[in-house]
Amino acid sequence: MNRLDKIRSINRPTLHEELVERLQQMIVEGTLAAGAKVPERELCEKLNVSRTPMREALKVLAADGLLILEPNRGARVRPITLHELEEAFPLMGALEALAGELACQHITAAQLKQLRRSHELMLGCFETQDLQGYFKHNQRIHELIMQAAGNETLVQTYRSLASRVRRSRYLANMSAERWQQAVNEHEDILDAIEARDGERLGAILKLHLANKFSTVREWLDTHA
Protein backbone atom coordinates (compact mmCIF):
# COMPACT_ATOMS: atom_id res chain seq x y z
CA MET A 1 0.00 0.00 0.00
CA ASN A 2 1.20 3.49 -0.87
CA ARG A 3 2.03 5.32 2.38
CA LEU A 4 0.38 8.46 0.95
CA ASP A 5 -3.01 6.79 0.41
CA LYS A 6 -4.30 7.63 3.89
CA ILE A 7 -3.43 11.33 3.73
CA ARG A 8 -6.55 13.51 4.11
CA SER A 9 -7.08 16.74 2.19
CA ILE A 10 -6.70 20.20 3.76
CA ASN A 11 -9.76 22.41 4.14
CA ARG A 12 -8.78 24.84 6.90
CA PRO A 13 -8.62 28.55 5.95
CA THR A 14 -5.08 28.96 7.35
CA LEU A 15 -3.73 27.03 4.40
CA HIS A 16 -0.06 27.96 4.62
CA GLU A 17 0.31 27.18 8.33
CA GLU A 18 -1.64 23.95 8.05
CA LEU A 19 0.30 22.82 5.00
CA VAL A 20 3.67 23.48 6.62
CA GLU A 21 2.51 21.65 9.75
CA ARG A 22 1.22 18.63 7.84
CA LEU A 23 4.34 18.28 5.70
CA GLN A 24 6.52 18.67 8.77
CA GLN A 25 4.56 15.89 10.48
CA MET A 26 5.01 13.61 7.46
CA ILE A 27 8.77 14.20 7.54
CA VAL A 28 9.08 13.75 11.30
CA GLU A 29 7.04 10.53 11.33
CA GLY A 30 8.75 9.11 8.25
CA THR A 31 5.82 9.16 5.82
CA LEU A 32 8.22 11.18 3.70
CA ALA A 33 11.37 9.15 4.26
CA ALA A 34 14.83 10.61 4.84
CA GLY A 35 16.67 11.02 1.54
CA ALA A 36 13.51 10.54 -0.54
CA LYS A 37 12.29 12.94 -3.23
CA VAL A 38 9.15 14.86 -2.23
CA PRO A 39 6.32 13.83 -4.61
CA GLU A 40 4.90 17.32 -5.09
CA ARG A 41 2.20 16.50 -7.61
CA GLU A 42 0.85 13.55 -5.66
CA LEU A 43 0.89 15.52 -2.41
CA CYS A 44 -0.98 18.39 -4.05
CA GLU A 45 -3.69 15.93 -5.10
CA LYS A 46 -3.85 14.22 -1.70
CA LEU A 47 -3.95 17.47 0.26
CA ASN A 48 -6.20 19.33 -2.21
CA VAL A 49 -3.81 22.26 -2.69
CA SER A 50 -2.21 23.92 -5.73
CA ARG A 51 1.48 23.89 -6.61
CA THR A 52 2.10 27.48 -5.46
CA PRO A 53 1.27 27.02 -1.73
CA MET A 54 2.98 23.63 -1.83
CA ARG A 55 6.24 25.15 -3.07
CA GLU A 56 6.03 28.00 -0.54
CA ALA A 57 5.63 25.43 2.24
CA LEU A 58 8.59 23.43 0.93
CA LYS A 59 10.73 26.59 1.07
CA VAL A 60 9.82 27.05 4.74
CA LEU A 61 10.74 23.46 5.56
CA ALA A 62 14.01 23.81 3.65
CA ALA A 63 14.82 26.89 5.73
CA ASP A 64 14.10 24.81 8.85
CA GLY A 65 16.63 22.22 7.68
CA LEU A 66 14.15 19.43 6.96
CA LEU A 67 14.37 19.52 3.16
CA ILE A 68 16.96 20.13 0.47
CA LEU A 69 15.80 22.14 -2.56
CA GLU A 70 17.56 20.99 -5.71
CA PRO A 71 17.44 23.29 -8.78
CA ASN A 72 15.17 21.84 -11.48
CA ARG A 73 14.76 18.64 -9.46
CA GLY A 74 12.37 19.62 -6.69
CA ALA A 75 12.75 18.91 -2.98
CA ARG A 76 14.32 16.00 -1.12
CA VAL A 77 14.03 15.08 2.55
CA ARG A 78 17.30 15.87 4.28
CA PRO A 79 18.98 12.70 5.59
CA ILE A 80 19.56 12.41 9.32
CA THR A 81 23.24 12.39 10.24
CA LEU A 82 24.94 11.63 13.52
CA HIS A 83 27.00 14.80 13.22
CA GLU A 84 23.88 16.97 12.96
CA LEU A 85 22.33 15.32 16.01
CA GLU A 86 25.57 15.60 17.99
CA GLU A 87 25.27 19.34 17.49
CA ALA A 88 21.50 19.65 17.94
CA PHE A 89 20.83 17.57 21.06
CA PRO A 90 23.18 19.42 23.47
CA LEU A 91 21.80 22.72 22.22
CA MET A 92 18.25 21.49 22.70
CA GLY A 93 19.19 20.33 26.19
CA ALA A 94 20.56 23.77 27.06
CA LEU A 95 17.45 25.51 25.70
CA GLU A 96 15.13 23.20 27.62
CA ALA A 97 17.15 23.65 30.80
CA LEU A 98 16.85 27.43 30.51
CA ALA A 99 13.13 27.12 29.76
CA GLY A 100 12.70 24.96 32.86
CA GLU A 101 14.41 27.51 35.08
CA LEU A 102 12.27 30.35 33.67
CA ALA A 103 9.08 28.27 33.82
CA CYS A 104 9.57 27.69 37.54
CA GLN A 105 9.58 31.45 37.98
CA HIS A 106 6.63 32.28 35.73
CA ILE A 107 4.28 29.30 35.39
CA THR A 108 0.65 30.06 36.20
CA ALA A 109 -1.85 27.82 37.97
CA ALA A 110 -3.68 27.28 34.67
CA GLN A 111 -0.46 26.28 32.88
CA LEU A 112 0.47 23.91 35.67
CA LYS A 113 -2.97 22.31 35.43
CA GLN A 114 -2.44 21.78 31.69
CA LEU A 115 0.96 20.28 32.38
CA ARG A 116 -0.43 17.83 34.92
CA ARG A 117 -3.20 16.81 32.51
CA SER A 118 -0.75 16.17 29.66
CA HIS A 119 1.40 14.16 32.06
CA GLU A 120 -1.58 12.00 33.03
CA LEU A 121 -2.48 11.41 29.38
CA MET A 122 1.13 10.50 28.61
CA LEU A 123 1.15 7.98 31.46
CA GLY A 124 -2.07 6.47 30.14
CA CYS A 125 -0.45 5.93 26.76
CA PHE A 126 2.56 4.36 28.46
CA GLU A 127 0.29 1.93 30.31
CA THR A 128 -1.37 0.85 27.06
CA GLN A 129 1.93 0.87 25.14
CA ASP A 130 0.59 3.49 22.72
CA LEU A 131 3.89 4.90 21.49
CA GLN A 132 2.37 7.41 19.06
CA GLY A 133 0.07 8.79 21.74
CA TYR A 134 2.94 8.84 24.21
CA PHE A 135 5.08 10.90 21.83
CA LYS A 136 2.18 13.31 21.25
CA HIS A 137 1.62 14.08 24.93
CA ASN A 138 5.34 14.00 25.66
CA GLN A 139 5.89 16.70 23.05
CA ARG A 140 3.01 18.71 24.49
CA ILE A 141 4.64 18.67 27.93
CA HIS A 142 7.88 20.11 26.57
CA GLU A 143 5.95 22.74 24.60
CA LEU A 144 4.01 23.76 27.73
CA ILE A 145 7.25 24.23 29.66
CA MET A 146 8.55 26.40 26.83
CA GLN A 147 5.37 28.49 26.86
CA ALA A 148 5.49 28.86 30.64
CA ALA A 149 9.03 30.25 30.36
CA GLY A 150 7.51 33.40 28.86
CA ASN A 151 10.40 34.10 26.49
CA GLU A 152 9.36 34.27 22.83
CA THR A 153 12.92 34.38 21.50
CA LEU A 154 13.68 31.18 23.38
CA VAL A 155 10.54 29.55 22.01
CA GLN A 156 11.37 30.47 18.40
CA THR A 157 14.95 29.22 18.72
CA TYR A 158 13.72 25.98 20.24
CA ARG A 159 11.15 25.38 17.52
CA SER A 160 13.74 25.83 14.80
CA LEU A 161 15.57 22.77 16.17
CA ALA A 162 12.74 20.71 17.62
CA SER A 163 11.46 19.17 14.38
CA ARG A 164 14.96 17.96 13.45
CA VAL A 165 15.38 16.27 16.80
CA ARG A 166 11.89 14.74 16.74
CA ARG A 167 12.64 13.05 13.41
CA SER A 168 15.32 10.95 15.06
CA ARG A 169 12.97 9.87 17.83
CA TYR A 170 10.74 8.05 15.33
CA LEU A 171 13.72 6.12 14.00
CA ALA A 172 15.00 4.74 17.28
CA ASN A 173 12.61 2.34 18.98
CA MET A 174 12.92 2.58 22.74
CA SER A 175 13.52 -0.55 24.74
CA ALA A 176 11.10 -1.26 27.59
CA GLU A 177 13.84 -0.27 30.02
CA ARG A 178 14.55 3.05 28.30
CA TRP A 179 10.84 3.84 28.01
CA GLN A 180 10.38 3.28 31.74
CA GLN A 181 13.40 5.47 32.41
CA ALA A 182 11.91 8.26 30.29
CA VAL A 183 8.63 8.04 32.21
CA ASN A 184 10.52 8.21 35.51
CA GLU A 185 12.33 11.30 34.26
CA HIS A 186 9.00 12.91 33.43
CA GLU A 187 7.78 12.19 36.95
CA ASP A 188 10.86 14.06 38.21
CA ILE A 189 10.18 16.90 35.76
CA LEU A 190 6.66 17.35 37.13
CA ASP A 191 7.85 17.17 40.75
CA ALA A 192 10.50 19.82 40.13
CA ILE A 193 8.20 22.27 38.40
CA GLU A 194 5.52 21.85 41.06
CA ALA A 195 8.19 22.64 43.65
CA ARG A 196 9.31 25.66 41.56
CA ASP A 197 12.85 24.26 41.73
CA GLY A 198 14.33 25.75 38.57
CA GLU A 199 17.88 24.53 39.11
CA ARG A 200 16.75 20.94 39.63
CA LEU A 201 14.33 21.07 36.70
CA GLY A 202 17.03 22.43 34.39
CA ALA A 203 19.38 19.60 35.34
CA ILE A 204 16.67 16.97 34.83
CA LEU A 205 15.75 18.32 31.39
CA LYS A 206 19.39 18.31 30.24
CA LEU A 207 19.77 14.71 31.43
CA HIS A 208 16.49 13.78 29.76
CA LEU A 209 17.72 15.08 26.38
CA ALA A 210 21.12 13.42 26.84
CA ASN A 211 19.43 10.06 27.45
CA LYS A 212 17.24 10.54 24.38
CA PHE A 213 20.32 11.18 22.29
CA SER A 214 22.00 8.07 23.69
CA THR A 215 19.07 5.97 22.44
CA VAL A 216 19.16 7.61 19.01
CA ARG A 217 22.94 7.28 18.70
CA GLU A 218 22.81 3.56 19.48
CA TRP A 219 20.26 3.12 16.69
CA LEU A 220 22.31 5.13 14.19
CA ASP A 221 25.49 3.24 15.10
CA THR A 222 23.82 -0.08 14.33
CA HIS A 223 22.20 1.16 11.09
CA ALA A 224 25.16 3.06 9.64
The span from the CA of 201 to the CA of 170, in Å, is 25
HSE toward the beta carbon, residue 200, CA cutoff 13 A = 13
Choosing among 3.40.309.10, 3.40.50.620, 1.10.10.10, 3.40.50.880, the CATH entry for 15-77 is 1.10.10.10
* The model's pTM: 0.78
CA gap 138, 114 in Å, rounded:
13
The CATH homologous superfamily to which domain 82-222 belongs is GntR ligand-binding domain-like (1.20.120.530)
Task: Decide: 177 and 129 in contact? Cβ < 8 Å.
Answer: no
* Confidence (pLDDT) at 71: 86
Render pLDDT for 62-117 as a digit per residue (tens, 0 to 9).
988 889 998 888 899 998 888 888 998 999 999 999 999 999 999 999 999 999 99
Strand 74-77 versus strand 67-70 pairing type: antiparallel
